[in-house]
Amino acid sequence: MPCAFSLASLRLPLFSSPPTIPPSGEHRLQKVLKDAAMEDGTVILTTLNEAWAAPNSIIDLFLESFKIGVGTHRLLNHLVIIALDQKAFQRCLELHTHCFALITQGVDFRREAYFMTPHYLKMMWARIDFLRSVLEMGYNFVFTDADVMWFRDPFPQFYMDADFQIACDHFLGNSDDLENRPNGGFNYVKSNNRSIEFYKFWYSSRETYPGFHDQDVLNIIKFHPSTFTIGLRMKFLDTAYFGGFCEPSKDFNQVCTMHANCCYGLDSKLHDLRIMLQNWKQFMSLRPNLKKYFILPWGVPQNCSLDSLRHYDAPESNNPHDLQD
């Protein structure tokens, strides 16, 4: 059931006890999460703004991947799309069952978020704060950026003993190695005291490290004594299953998700994601006895590269149709 709510009422003061969420807002958020939750209280969450919600844009490719993946179509029943503006909310209502409008007072998330600008940082930190609130409501979640294509049910590849597990831009071969380079665009988090305290610590650390985005701060605090004191059980996901443009999964028979990371600019993302989906369709069209011998690489990245990065000092655009991840 679609709902609208203001992020302002979920704001968490630094190192404070959990805030009192207004009963009406808590009820609306609880309702949409309850409707989407699996039996164990797990939901799949993604965020959406006007740029990525436009027809034939990111959200259409994202939903298509669930429909053509292996064991993924049913997971749409558990997906909640968090709309960051009114146009994204309206588009969600046209496409999907579980929609939630999260409006942040005084922030326009429709515009392109140039990498590392104040606007970009606000968007990333608002996401961390919201995810903390979901954990406090007792829900586990898989958070996925909408430019992550779901090709296979990822749950069999998750670690049963982890509180927090996250995909990587670069995976070093050991899921416990803190030197792995995580990417906040895909993670699975279980709701418990450890994960809640960690998200509070993560969010509060934005003031300890001003000007850093959430992923860079995570790379710092994963070594911090407070993280060890909290006792968070952290795992890093293998790019063999959870790949991306930074480090693609090499085996179509194993890949669960592929992320358009190491890619900047909406046009570049769309171009390469469409090629990726076509690669997957070609693989799925093979006879079963041929699939196990399929060793061709992905046809991407092509337009996506670090060269397409817009520097943090680039002027912010008023064009809502060119969002940057």
- Residue 152, domain member (yes or no): yes
- Residue 318, domain member (yes or no): no
Q: CB count, 10 Å around CB of 310?
A: 17
Cis before 210 (ω within 30): no
pLDDT tens digits, one per residue of 7-66: 433 333 333 333 334 455 567 889 999 999 999 999 999 999 999 999 999 999 999 999
Q: CB count, 10 Å around CB of 113?
A: 23
* pLDDT given at position 138: 98
Cα 286 to the center of its chain, rounded Å? 30
- Residue 275, domain member (yes or no): yes
Closest to 150 measured CA to CA, from 138, 142, 159: 142
Closest to 284 measured CA to CA, from 64, 81, 126: 64
Cα 243 to the center of its chain, rounded Å? 14
**For a pLDDT cut of 70, what percent of the chain falls above it?**
81
The residue type of 148 is V
pLDDT beneath 50, residues of the chain: 5-22, 109-110, 112, 114-116, 310-324
Q: Token digits for 131?
A: 């995810």
Q: Token digits for 44?
A: 């799949």
- Residue 16, domain member (yes or no): no
Number of domains in the chain: 1
* pLDDT given at position 3: 57
- Residue 18, domain member (yes or no): no
Beta bridge partners of 100: 3, 82
* pLDDT given at position 307: 61
What 3-state class would DSSP assign to 287? coil
* pLDDT given at position 296: 84
Distances (CA, A) of 8 to 66, 103, 138, 231: 32, 8, 20, 29
Q: 167, 237 in Cβ contact below 8 A?
A: yes
* pLDDT given at position 95: 98
* pLDDT given at position 189: 99
Helices (DSSP H) in the chain: which residue ranges?
23-36, 50-53, 58-68, 86-95, 118-136, 193-208, 214-221, 225-230, 266-284, 288-291
Question: Whole-number mean pLDDT of the chain?
Answer: 86
Q: 149, 276 in Cβ contact below 8 A?
A: yes
Q: 110, 85 in Cβ contact below 8 A?
A: yes
- Residue 311, domain member (yes or no): no
- Residue 201, domain member (yes or no): yes
- Residue 177, domain member (yes or no): yes
Question: Angle, nearest 10°, between helix axes 58-68 and 266-284?
Answer: 20
* pLDDT given at position 309: 52
Burial class (CB in 10 A: 0-12, 13-18, 19+), 305: middle
Range(s) of the domain holding residue 283: 3-10+24-304
Q: Return the CATH number at 61.
A: 3.90.550.10
